[in-house]
Structure 1
Amino acid sequence: MKDLLVEKGPNREVDTNTIFPKDSLGRHFSFDFFIRKLRNDDSFDRKWLVYSKELDKVFCFCFKLFKTIRTKSSLATEGIKDWKHLSETLKQHENSSNHMDNLRTWNETRIRLNKNETIDKKIQEIIKKDTEHWKEVMVRIIYVVKCLAKNNLAFRGTNEKNYENSNDNFLSVIESIAEWDPVMKEHFRMIQDKETHNHYLSHKIQNELIEMLASEVKCAIIKKKIKKTKYFSVILDCTLDASHQEQMTLIIRCVDLESVPLKVEEFFLEFLIIEDTSGLGLFNVLQDAPKSLDLDINYVRGQGYDNGANMKDKHQGVKKRLLDINNRAFYMPCGCHSLNLVLCDMTNSCQKAKTFFVIWYDILYKINLISKKLQSKEMLLDVAVKNLEGLINYFEGYRENGFDFAISEAKEIANSVKVKPEIPQKRNQKRKQHFDEIPNTEREHQSSQEAFKMDYFFILVDMALVQLKSRFEQMQYFESIFGFLFDGSKLVSLVDDELKKCCLNIESNLKNGEDYDIDEDGLFIELKLLQKMLPDEAYKSRSPWTSIQIMEYARRMDMFPNVLVAYRILLTVPVTVASTERSFSKLKLLKSYLRSTMTQERLNGLAILSIESDFFKKY
């Protein structure tokens, strides 16, 4: 163990922004203690000094490792946290003969280990060879764990004995590897000859590896992606698992600042057990989740849910409770779910919903195209707004000429199957009353086709238009804030007064008390310059640049900090909760009827390795 510690060296906190705990006098550890000041003002690194975050104490690394005599120095035993007198204590300690002896021993051991010139050289060679063997074994075991988790396969079977029928998938794959791989072949030989009892093939080791790998993936997502972009959105949804336990999936959406070109990512982090499905119960779980993941809920800039009352209720829902503590957590109802509700309202608006399938085919086909686009993890708010505007334009045009086209197509279909094309004569009561008010001569000229158009077609299309505009009014609200950043043509077309007004509006919507995300003056100056610098294809082409393309250009120029913040927040706002539905599909595969008793830790471990398998492969 000493050799291993010497090879690895002391583990030191490197984040200079770390906030250390204060004692009763308000004092705390500082990075300055790591530096020794010489009389000529030179600085020398105290590499031997170690700070323990868990104990909030400092220790002498070499003294702790190599002391051979009893010492009164607390740096070698229980540690020191007397921050007031620590500087003087360190000076006395580093000048002591015992410290210098142990420091010499540490450095000599380190050098000899590097050159493989220790006294126990032969033993070290055996240890090194044995270490390499176990490393190779663990690499293969980890590969199998990753493979089974990625493909949602069960690990355990009816027994855990090697080379027996009905043993689990994990052992079966390991046995297959041992057929051709010399490392695993030797490992199984050692197990059979009882040369080792530590084979690392039990279900306990599997669980430990699953949790360790999942923890590393989760930490990498949080550290390398979410924290680097600072601002993120939370996307939530709930479902019952196979054991009838309510599970809430937590998805984080953010801009991946490391990718080239830029892209928006939605990361699965965990399933959360829900005992109380009320708005308060769900909010309490949501509020605790970021703390456990070392994320700041004040940096949430978007929240996406379905249209459930416990989520979106304006008085007691999760949306309202989160906005109460963070008014910049913009709420967005799921676009796909809203489209489904539009269809439900359309169906309920007409009693003859099944009588004219040609009209419904046209409507459903168009809505399905938009719905599939919205389900993409990379879907952007500006692109979603354009798609929905296109859908509204489609219905407005369909209202004018869609009926005649549908009649013509219906007649062709009817004739092809040798069915007489005729429209039902039945009218609803309201229509009968209306017809009674029309003079007989005029009533005679009205055909059943016109009646059907008035009673069914117009009602259906008008309901679609009304519901699309009302259910997606939240997107119109976002457009009023961020719309001038949506594409290159909109941005370049603004004159100074309009641009100034837009910058002031976005600043006011992205502040909380005295805390500002955007500096209106800085943003205005940068956007004026950006208007002049954007290439012609950004705003003159038939397809002007989208928000993410403009942000990519601004990042390359490396001179628009406020612009980058504005676009980062814009791209963070979620459009749908489709990622939560995809995670539920994994949940059903992982926690099935036959595997309904697994622990929450194992479930979350398998889920993150399965859902974020591409991220795991990369990092």
Structure 2
Amino acid sequence: MSRRQSTLLGFVETKKTKICSPSTTSDVHFKEAEVSEYCCSNTSSSSSTVQAADNRPIASIAFNSKTRNVDFGFYIDIATTSFSDAEKANLLRNAWEPPEDFSYPFSVHRKNNKDVKCYLSKKHFGEFRWLTYSCHLQGLFCKYCFLFAKQGGVYHQTNLNKLVKSPLNKYSKLLGKDGDLILHQAHRYHKEAVERAQLFIKKFRDPQVSIENMLDQKRKLQILVNRERLKPIIEAVILLGRQNIAFRSHRDDGFSLRDKTETNKTTEDSAVNRGNFKAILEYRAKGDPILKNYLLTAAARSTYISKTVQNDIILTIGEEITGILTEKIGKAKFFSIIFDETTDISNTSQMTFFVRKQHNIPLTNQSGNLEELQYSHKESKAGKEEGLSSLLKITKVIIKRRYI
């Protein structure tokens, strides 16, 4: 029996690298892709180390400040609830991805008394778009779960670690039926995190679609509508005050326009004179369909034409006028104060406060004739002394110390 002749190759040990068969996965939010896992074994081992493909330690891979801002490893100890929307958007949009010249790391595992290298590949990032690598912590993270997943499990009571709270840096079992990336992608908390991330980006790009802003826009629109409704009411108050016309009559309740519409005829109640204020509004409503519709359809407590609202509008307009007069008097610098008291039919003392000042000609430094302004009007039931004291307090508002 002839002995087999030895060859030169017999003195050299050959090592065949096993390539795992391609595995196709699908994400509910991303395109399907095929990827080959460069791994010698589908069984992970507790004994493993991580290195770059060119045998450099991963920690020595340089990254600048811009890369640091999008490296999830630097945010691992920071509560995601403290992140601003801008920070979240920056991490989602610009999560660090390996460049073309990146030397992909591998983890070394012990199998059959041999060291086996399992590589991370560019194709992993192409298939799993949620995947990002941290140079700082030398491992993989899911950017969506990192920011938006809180807890897992059926009742959301299970703490999340791998790919979420801690990096995945063992690459022996990434794909396949029980692969780490496949299992993670199938979890419900991951799918919910992806949905939250997509909704967040949508709201961040267009704030108008957020529920909060939609409600805020609706509120702003309601404010504008209410202002338009109040405008003719305020103008009616100004008109009556400027023309020195009384507001109310003996009966001020109800609104005759609504009474006529409800009965389609003039009833005894609708024929009652309800005063000048409501008569002006009724007359204006005939040519203003918006005002007419508002007065006819608004709730009884939301018409803003009651005597209480009339008084509130009068006081507000009075404060505005007083502010304008105060500004004019302040510009005049020098002025005199005049008090005029009279008793009305009810034997109540009424005191009026006037200010006499020089009238300044606009756009010039010249002074014109003297001008008297009625600044305030106050009822003084206890006598002139009390009225004088209260009106002197008013003068403190307009008198500057250097002009006394």
Same fold by TM-score, threshold 0.5 exceeded? no
Q: TM-score, normalised by structure 1?
A: 0.28
User: In proportion to residue count, which structure has more helix?
Assistant: 1
Larger RCO, structure (CA 8 Å, separation 6 or more) = 1
User: In proportion to residue count, which structure has more strand?
Assistant: 2
Query: Which of the pair has more CA radius of gyration?
Result: 2
